[in-house]
Amino acid sequence: MKVKGRTDHSLWYYSQLFNVPLSLIMDSNINLQVNDTLHDKVINIPGYIVKEYVVNKDDCIDRVATQLNINIEALSLLNHGDLSNLKQYSKINIPVRITEPIVTGEKNYTYQTLSDDLKRLEEIYPFIRKNIIGYSVQNKEIYEVIVGNGPIRVHMNGSFHANEWITTAVLIAFLNDYLLSITNQTSLANIKTEPLYHYATLSLVPMVNPDGVDLVLNGLEIDNEYCQHVVDLNNGSRDFSNWKANINGVDLNKQFPAKWELEQPRKPQQPGPRDFPGYKPLSEPETIAMATLTMNSNFDRVIAFHTQCKEIYWGFDEREPSYSKTIVNEFAKNSGYKPVQTLDSFSGFKDWFIYEWRKPGFTVELGEGVNPLPIAQFKEIYNESIGIFLAGIYM
């Protein structure tokens, strides 16, 4: 919600007027300082939208304010004028606090859905920052969302694998509930979230593989330049429900230089729907984007969300620090998922992070069954793993 500032007002005053933490007001208006003169400046107020109210016959401003439980000064701010003489059937603007999530994750979660949801979240919670870290093969934007201003830097991601797109839906639902809880100063899964905003900075890349996700969910039009290519890679089938790779037929989670040379010989040697590690590490624009982000961000830990066996992988090449075990045990306690220290597997994103930085890295396998997991599992997966999301921030 946007209001026009006044000379005698301050960001602190708006924090009190709308009952929103001052830090969120400040981070929603990064071009302003706490003590700046606000005359005629446009001020972002997070956690609110503006709706119209039709004035009834006997309405006066006091009655409207009491009836709607809105401060008169807030009404005056939104309507830029004298509200002492309301006319029947005229319309005034009223601030409406958002108290429920706006994201519906329980559906086929395409790249367009993600883009639309992030745009709406930016409008309501302007203290978040959205970056474009790179582009997919088909030139779709790969988004990073940043929340918080704390010294601990935590990264999470989803949909490295196309048919694991439910991870994006779950992550965006987590994000929405986290933003809602921070702004309204409530608890999420019995955790007070406002302190987390100052404890950690969360980097979230919800959809690493947008081309692959859309291929699984939407297929490709016959006139698309990639259509015949991916049909050929898919053994002539136009059923892409089991496709894991990017649009080039490369498995993005087998692309990182963490003993890639050991993984490559035992995997497919040609592009296809799954498991082909590429002809060299970091050959794909999506993995280049993720590697560049990671190298430039000094993350303290990373968590990659996949599906589907309710396990958490947390070691690689005996390079994981000892406190990784403390973190994974907290994840396990909060979710019921099984910690697994090592696998006979190399060249994944969390492998590379541990290998290069010797910091905690985790792969969380959400849900159970055969990929792609049915959207009917969404609520169960969310409830099981919200504790991992929160513990990933506060540990």
* Digitized pLDDT (tens) for each residue of the chain, 395 residues in all: 999 998 889 999 999 999 999 999 999 999 988 778 898 899 999 999 999 999 888 888 888 888 888 988 899 888 876 677 787 778 889 999 999 999 999 999 999 999 999 999 999 999 999 999 999 999 999 999 999 999 999 999 999 999 999 999 999 999 999 999 999 999 999 999 999 999 999 999 999 999 999 999 999 988 889 999 999 999 999 999 999 999 999 999 999 999 999 999 999 999 999 999 999 999 999 999 999 999 999 999 999 999 999 999 999 999 999 999 999 999 999 999 999 999 999 999 999 999 999 999 999 999 999 999 999 999 999 999 999 999 999 99
Residue ending a domain, among 72, 97, 122, is 97
Of the candidates 113, 164, 157, the one whose C-alpha atom is nearest the C-alpha of residue 286 is 157
Residue 68 confidence (pLDDT): 87
Residue 65 confidence (pLDDT): 87
CATH number at residue 40: 3.10.350.10
- Count of CB atoms situated within 10 Å of the CB of 212: 35
d(CA 343, CA 315): 8
Q: Both 48 and 120 in a single domain?
A: no
In a domain, 266, yes or no: no
Residue ending a domain, among 97, 129, 157, is 97
In a domain, 243, yes or no: no
* Element (DSSP H or E) covering residue 310: strand 309-313
Q: Where do we find the tokens 């692959």?
A: 212
Catalytic residues: 365
Q: Both 327 and 356 in a single domain?
A: yes
By residue range, what is the domain housing residue 164? 111-212+281-394
Q: Both 173 and 298 in a single domain?
A: yes
d(CA 395, CA 334): 12
Q: Both 50 and 124 in a single domain?
A: no
CATH number at residue 166: 3.40.630.10
d(CA 304, CA 99): 29
Q: Both 308 and 179 in a single domain?
A: yes
In a domain, 160, yes or no: yes
Domains in the chain, number: 2
Residue 357 confidence (pLDDT): 98
